Every structure is written in structure tokens, then in C-alpha cells.
Structure 1
């Protein structure tokens, strides 16, 4: 329980670290952003496979795992229908002639989108610790934390461009990290109370993470002309997690 709480704070805190970096580098070059986000995509993909889906197969059976992955993706797809995609919202600066209220409306949708994505990511980290396989749990939590840093960075600029005061930007952005802490503890509690749901919960969490990588992160990194950099960065992140899984687990 104590380790899960520490990890929850670390996972949510990574978003806050990203927020601080976002204030330091308010106009992040697309090349740097795509490289970092591509690396994070590789880390998350490896974490989903090695830390969630493979353990799900070990604890349950292949049909439970497949069903859990699909349900996780479908649930996040349904959530996406209620909110806009990240790469559609980061273009607020392209709408300089729209009124401020329109900007603020889109910013609030943006924050909602990030929060919705952070909840299942937090649950994924919590489910990992609920399985009591500490090595895999750390792999998943680290993968999510690394992904949260660039995510926290990209929250800042749209909020500032919409005219939101800097202090309020900080608290709104940090709120998305708090959501992840809540999700982590929910995932841990659910698996601890009902261990029989562990295989399905692991697969569900893995499905949500793969969905985020494919639907959000890869399209974002391939939309500014730095596709090759993003691809090799993703491979680097994936390889790093393979090495960590081999030497730590």
C-alpha cells in the first residue's frame, strides 16, 4: 500500500514536473516536443505489453486478456467522443481572431480530455501494484510517469494563449496530475479487494494505454514534419524499457 501511494504521487507528480517545464519553455519547438513525446510513446507501449498484457496472460487466459484489451480501448474511445483530441486543441494559437470565450471553452475541453486519459493511466499503475509483481508495477509506473512529463508541458501553452492567468493555469494543469493519483489508488484498491478480476483489469489497463499511444501520441508526433525523429525516439523508448524489464524485473 505504501509503495503504491508513493508511486501514485510520483506518477501524478510527473505531470506537475511537466507543467513547470512548460512554464520555463512556453513555446516548445515542435521538433523537441515530437522527439520527447515519441520517446514517451515507446516507453508506454513497452510498459503496456511487458507490465500489463503479458502478466494478464500469466494470471488468466488468452480470451480474458483479449477481451480486456478490447474493452479498455472501446471505453477510452467512448470517452474520446465526449472530448476533443489533444492534437486538435494544441492549435489554439492558430485561431487568433476567435473571441476569448471560444478559446476558454476549448481549453476546458482540453483539460477534460487530459483528465479522462489520466484516469485510466493511473488505474493502470494501481492495478500493477495490486498484482504484487513489483518489478512489472515499477515498469508500468515509470512508463506512465515519463509520458506525463511532455503531457504536462503541452497543457501550459494553450491555457496561457486563451488568456487564463498564470496562477490559474498552474492549478488547472496540476489538477490533471491529481486525477492520476486518484486513478492509481482506485486501481490498487479494486484489485486488492477482488483479486479474481486481476487478469481482466491488467488487460483493460493495457488496452487503454495502447489506445492512447496509437490514437493520440503517434498522430501528434507525426503532424509537424519530424516523423523520422519521432519514430526513432519511440524505438529508443521501447528499447530502454526492454533493458529495464530484463535487468530490473
Structure 2
């Protein structure tokens, strides 16, 4: 299951490079299309958080701990802990977003490009962890649906990162290369997530909801505000609904 978690999260992370490829050929994307695609990514993550992580976590928790109340309390603790982890990384790690600017600790002499990379890494790590936890549950179909869903939403994110880097003055080749590297943190999260939940059946319910909480924080704190920043709320919401439905179908048919 750890190997499946590694391979699944690696495949999902590699879609970041696929999404960035148009920039290598001089293609760009309109702000409206960008916000629609990021809305789609948010919809996939939102659907995956509930249908692929929280609901299975509640079911496994009820089976392991012998009651729905204990399962619900554990799920709530897992969600809160996952969100708190990402919030702490946001606070402690120096990083910079393309639009909102610098956040976190004092970066000192750290080059600006590394601040961008750290910001994207904070975003991508929980996604890889979610894929790893999905495979770590022992259900290959469940993990596969998460890997496909996260991979699909990584493509527009990769394009958005590459376009933003081009806007900062980086060459097309370097923008694509950096976007590709940011996706490679996902296999790290995948291995950690799969290993953590395969240790014990008692850890699985918490691991599933922990991964969900981390992604929910990113959706609310990063993606949705970004898609609404330029007045394209309608397009972004349409993309979100489309992504949510697609991930729901993937989870039902594969998981």
C-alpha cells in the first residue's frame, strides 16, 4: 500500500507538469479561464474531502471504535488537526503568494523564487498525503479515484503557477520546470500518508479526516478567495460545481 501511495501521488503530482506545458509553447490563459479552472480544482478537492476522506473516515471509525459518536468526535478532531497543521505551516514557513504577497516568518536572504516554491509546496503536500491515505486504507479503487481527481485538479494549478511565473519575468522553460518541481512534493506526502495509516487500523479514521482537514483549509484560505479576487465569481463557482460533480462520479464508480 505504501508503494501504491507513492506511485499514485507521483502520478497525480506529475499532472502539474502537464498543466504547465502550454506555457512552454508560448500559450497563455485569460484571467476568466484561470479562475474557472482554479474553481474546478477547488470543487475536486472539496468533493474528495467529504466523499473520499471524511465519509470513509466516519465509517471506519464507527467500525473500529464501536460507535458513531466516538467516530464523529474523532473525525472532528482529525479535521481540526489537519487544518491546524496547514495553518501552522503558513505561519512558520516564510513564503510568498503571487497575488497577496509575503506571509509567514521573516525570509531573510532567501531568494524570492524559493518563497513562491514554499508557498506552492504548502499547498501540494496535503494533496499528496490525501492520495497516500486513500491507498493506505487498503482499497485500491478508493486510492485510484483520489489519485485521478487530485491529478485532474493539479493540471490547472500547474498552468496557473507557470503563467504567474512568466508574469514575474521568468523564461517559459524555467516557469514550466519550477511548476513541475512543485508537483514532486506530492509523492513525499503520499508516502507519509500511506505509511501513517497502514501502521494500525486505529490510525486510519484519524488519517482520513486529517487529510481532509488540511485540504479544506487550503480551499477556504487560498483557492476560493483567489478565484473571487478579480470579479469572476460566477465562472469560478461554475468550475467548482463541475469539479465537485466529476470527483463524486469518480469516487462512486472507482471507489
Same fold (TM over 0.5): yes
Match of 2:76 among 62, 66, 91: 66
2:147 corresponds to 1:141: yes
Given the alignment of the two structures, is residue 109 of structure 1 paired with residue 119 of structure 2, yes or no? Answer: no
Q: How does 1:27-176 map to 2 (within 5 A)?
A: 27-60=28-61, 61-81=71-91, 82=93, 83-85=95-97, 87-89=99-101, 105-176=111-182
The secondary structure found in structure 2 opposite 1:194 is: coil
Would you say the 8 A contact 1:43–1:143 is kept in 2?
Answer: yes
d(CA) in 2 for partners of 1:86 and 1:209?
20
Provide the secondary structure at the position in 2 that maps to 1:195.
coil
Q: Determine the structure 1 residue equivalent to 2:232.
A: 226
> How far apart are residue 165 of structure 1 and its match?
4.5
Q: 2:198 aligns with which of 192, 200, 205?
A: 192
SS at match of 1:84: strand
- Partner secondary structure for residue 184 of structure 2: helix
Q: 2: distance between equivalents of 1:217 and 1:120?
A: 14
- TM-score when scaled to structure 2? 0.84
Runs of 4+ that moved beyond 4 A: none
User: What corresponds to 2:245 in structure 1?
Assistant: 239
Q: Give the secondary structure class of the aligned counterpart of 1:141.
A: helix
1:205-234: CA deviations, max 9, x gaps?
000111111111111111112111111221
CA contact (8 A) 2:6 2:188 kept: no
Per-residue deviation, residues 21-64 of structure 1 (Å, max 9, x unmatched):
33335532011111111112111100110111111111111111
SS at match of 1:199: helix
> What secondary structure is seen at the aligned counterpart in 2 of 1:137?
helix
Q: Is the 8 A contact 1:22 1:154 kept in 2?
A: no
- Structure 1 residues 195, 84: closer, same or farther in 2, change over 3 A? farther
| Unmatched 5+ stretches in structure 1 | 91-103
Question: Does the 8 Å CA contact 1:42/1:238 hold for their aligned counterparts?
Answer: yes
Q: How does 1:195-214 map to 2 (within 5 A)?
A: 195-214=201-220
Unmatched 5+ residue regions in structure 2? 62-70, 103-109
Matches of 1:48 and 1:73, distance apart in 2? 12
Greater mean deviation of Cα atoms: 215-224 or 153-162: 153-162
CA contact (8 A) 1:26 1:156 kept: no
Please give the TM-score of this superposition, normalised by the length of structure 1.
0.86
